[in-house]
């Protein structure tokens, strides 16, 4: 739950007079929404682990919507929070974020990816993720790593709470995290925007 401090940092700065009200309402909504993501804590699918954070994002979005913030305003807040959350806080973190692409051709990485495919290839829960790894270098711009999201737990969560129009905001965060890893994200479509799958492909910068 350490992610809360990043939300509070941005919201305090942007809305000092409304902060107490925003925090109270967000926490109340999160308590309700998180019932739908409680399964993620025990899921063997690593993609499901992000759903608790997404539940807090959703609670924040719905609270800001109630405060009459428009879509662009909500998107701006979410992107600031996401950037604050993922950005490296020191040199070690910066180095670690750029390490995975450098290890992708190692035997250790291949072993990890094989195990990862087993875990992400099946749904642990009906409301969770299902995905498929792509390791053919011809299909991954020579990197040897890509991923197709076939069922998106975030889309399911947001749709369940009638907030599906906000799901694409979270898709934008993927470009930030890819950039921090020294990669350019290339994606033809996302489930949030009506595609059959989210195709993650990357190029080394």
Burial class (CB in 10 A: 0-12, 13-18, 19+), 19: middle
User: In this model, does residue 205 exceed pLDDT 90?
Assistant: no
Q: Note the pLDDT of residue 101.
A: 86
Report the distance separating Cα 179 and Cα 129, nearest Å.
Answer: 23
Strand order in the sheet with 146-151: 130-134, 146-151, 198-204, 183-186
Assign 204 to helix, strand or coil: strand
> What is the distance between the alpha carbons of residues 94 and 47, in angstroms, rounded to a whole number?
22
Are 86 and 108 in contact, with CB atoms under 8 Å apart?
no
pTM: 0.91
List pLDDT tens digits, range 145-154: 999 999 999 9
Q: What is the CA radius of gyration of the chain?
A: 18
Q: Work out the pLDDT band at 56, boundaries 50, 70, 90.
A: very high
185 half-sphere exposure, CB direction, 13 A CA radius: 20
Reported confidence tier of residue 105, pLDDT bands at 50, 70, 90:
confident
User: What band does 80 get if pLDDT is binned at 50, 70 and 90?
Assistant: very high
Per-residue pLDDT tens for 109-133?
Answer: 888 888 999 999 989 999 999 999 9
**pLDDT for position 103:** 86
Tens digits of residue pLDDT in 173-204: 999 999 999 999 999 999 999 999 999 999 98
Total residue count of the chain as it appears in this document:
205
| pLDDT at 1 exceeding the cut of 90 | no
What is residue 70's predicted lDDT score, i.e. its pLDDT? Answer: 95
Residues 6+ apart with CB under 8 A from 113: 133, 135, 145
- Domain regions of the chain by residue span: 4-204
């Amino acid at each position: 739950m350490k992610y809360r401090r990043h939300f509070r940092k941005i919201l305090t700065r942007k809305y000092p007079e409304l902060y107490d009200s925003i925090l109270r309402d967000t926490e109340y909504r999160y308590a309700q929404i998180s019932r739908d993501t409680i399964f993620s804590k025990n899921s063997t699918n690593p993609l499901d682990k992000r759903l608790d954070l997404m539940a807090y994002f959703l609670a924040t979005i719905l609270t800001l919507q109630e405060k009459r913030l428009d879509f662009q305003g909500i998107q701006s807040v979410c992107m600031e929070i996401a950037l604050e959350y993922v950005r490296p806080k020191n040199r070690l973190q910066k180095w670690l974020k750029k390490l995975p692409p450098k290890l992708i051709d190692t035997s250790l990485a291949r072993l990890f990816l094989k195990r990862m495919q087993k875990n992400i290839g099946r749904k642990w829960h009906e409301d969770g993720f299902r995905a498929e790894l792509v390791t053919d270098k011809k299909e991954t711009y020579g990197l040897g790593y890509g991923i197709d999201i076939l069922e998106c737990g975030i889309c399911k969560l947001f749709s369940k709470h009638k907030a599906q129009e906000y799901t694409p905001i979270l898709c934008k965060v993927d470009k930030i995290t890819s950039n921090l890893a020294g990669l350019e994200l290339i994606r033809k479509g996302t489930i949030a925007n009506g595609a059959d799958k989210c195709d993650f492909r990357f190029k080394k910068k």
